[in-house]
Amino acid sequence: MKHIVKILTLVVAITALWIGLLQTSIIPRSHTWLLPIYFVVSLGCYGLLMVGVGLMNFPTCPQEALLLQKDIIEAKEYLNQKGVDVSSS
Amino acid sequence: MDGQHKKEKNKYSIIVPTYNERLNIGLIVYLIFKHLQDVDFEIIVVDDGSPDGTQDIVKQLQQVYGEDRILLRPRPRKLGLGTAYIHGMKHATGNFVVIMDADLSHHPKYLPSFIRKQLETGADIVTGTRYVKGGGVHGWNLMRKLTSRGANVLAQTLLWPGVSDLTGSFRLYRKPVLEDIISCCVSKGYVFQMEMIVRASRKGYHIEEVPITFVDRVFGSSKLGGSEIVEYLKGLAYLLVTT
């Protein structure tokens, strides 16, 4: 099954549930009408929250850059000895 | 399991596509040999006709390390990443294929952890991820981090891929698995990496992750402009309807 079909099935199921709520009036209709707006807003909040949390906990590795510089110097020395051209131009 | 015994038979073909990497190719070859000492492997350099003499350096490296360990398989001009992998794979003699960038943003010191993870789990694909504990990125500004996180959240929400880092390209594949998925991938650039892993996930291949760090040395080289973002969104839509 294509992934878009899965997502559409989910959307249809949620819409069906909503229409069901409208029909049966378990909760006041005025509230039910607003549910899709709440849904979209909470989806947006979820996205923003995930991006925010991800940004705050973004893993960085400044020490790796230093280690890499050491590795580069070591590699250049070795390759120079072996007669490999490692000039940067 | 007879992990030790199996290790004897496995051979790893490391495919490194290059374009104007005359300095980096020597460094990466040295580091691969340093970190993979008791492993059977070969390095396949697919050079797309670099004008800076990358191929001359590779020939010098062949003199040092042996022509059976470093294979130079050049192409006449820039022909794209996907076909570079296919081209390299044609000459690969290993039962596993590793794909990594030549610009040293992928450090060869992580290769043993890829191999160990594969032996432990029997995975079809081991993919490097920057977004877990032990992983990380260096050299990105706030804007780059923001787009990266946004793109990731969007893809995770829409595609449910089961992998935390979709656009990374440091990966180990069983050779037949890579042959199988690469033949149905058509995207380019970042989206190509994402398409490969999403298709593999949909086909039910066993995917494992290991943490890697990503050091962006040429500051701003991986800056994402508006056109890249549009390409990314198109790629996302394409994957939604085709996988």
pLDDT tens-digit series, residues A28-41? 888 888 888 999 99
pTM for the full predicted model: 0.88
> Cα(A1)–Cα(B202) distance, rounded to whole angstroms?
10
pLDDT for the residue A50: 94
Cβ-Cβ contacts under 8 Å, B138 against chain A: 60-62, 64-65
pLDDT at B165: 92
Indicate if the pLDDT at residue B2 is higher than 50: no
Is the minimum CB–CB distance between B235 and chain A shorter than 8 Å? no
The whole-number pLDDT of residue B133 equals 87
Q: How far apart are alpha carbons A85 and B189 in whole angstroms?
A: 31
Rg of the Cα atoms in chain A: 28
Contacts with A62 from chain B: Cβ below 8 Å: 138
CB-facing half-sphere around the CA of B109: CA atoms within 13 A: 13
Q: At what angle do helices B22-35 and B111-121 cross, to 10 degrees?
A: 50
pLDDT digits (tens, 9 = 90+) for B198-230: 999 999 999 999 999 999 876 445 556 788 889
Contact residues, B window 73-132, toward A, CB-based 8 Å cutoff: 104, 107, 130-132
> Cβ B240–A3 below 8 Å, yes or no?
yes
Chain A contacts in chain B segment 24-53 (CB below 8 A) = 26-27, 30-31
Reduce the secondary structure of A32-73 to three states and give it as a string. Answer: HHHHHHHHHHHHHHHHHHHHHHHHHCCCECHHHHHHHHHHHH
> How confident is the model over B162-179, as a mean pLDDT?
93
- Using alpha carbons only, give the angle B117, B130, B26 rounded to the nearest 5 degrees: 80
Crossing angle, helix B189-202 and helix B175-182, to 10 degrees?
A: 110
Q: What is the pLDDT of residue B220?
A: 45
Q: How far is CA B139 from CA B28, B68, B108, B148, B221, in A?
A: 19, 36, 19, 13, 10
ipTM entry: 0.85
| Average pLDDT of span B181-186 | 88
- Of B23, B139, B153, Cβ closest to residue A54: B153
Average pLDDT, stretch B191-196?
Answer: 91
Query: Which of B63, B130, B153 lies closest to A51 in CB terms?
Result: B153
Chain A residues with CB-CB distance to B241 below 8 A = 2-4
* Mean predicted confidence (pLDDT) in B73-90: 91
Q: Cβ–Cβ of A85/B56 closer than 8 Å?
A: yes
**More confident position, B84 or B2:** B84
pLDDT digits (tens, 9 = 90+) for B15-58: 999 999 999 999 999 999 999 998 999 999 999 999 999 999 99
Contact indicator for B91, B71 with CB cutoff of 8 Å: yes
Q: Give the residue on B whose Cα is nearest the Cα of A44.
A: B154
CB A54 to CB B149 under 8 A?
yes
Asked if A61's CB is within 8 angstroms of B136's CB, the reply is: yes
Distance from CA of A61 to the nearest CA of B (A): 5
User: What is the predicted pLDDT for the residue at B33?
Assistant: 96
Q: Which residues of chain A have pLDDT under 50?
A: none
Q: Phi, psi at residue A26, to the nearest 5°?
A: -65, -45
The average confidence (pLDDT) of chain B is 90
Distance from CA of residue B190 to its chain's centroid? 11
The answer to whether A58 faces chain B, any CB pair under 8 Å, is yes
Largest alpha-carbon pair distance within chain A?
83
Quick one: which of B222, B226, B182, B225 has its CA closest to B200?
Answer: B182
**Residue B145 near chain A (CB below 8 Å):** yes
* Interface A-B: count of C-beta contacts within 8 A: 100
* CB-side neighbour CA atoms (13 Å) of B182: 20
Task: Write the CA distances from B30 to A82, B64, B98, B106, B214, integer angstroms.
Answer: 11, 10, 16, 14, 19
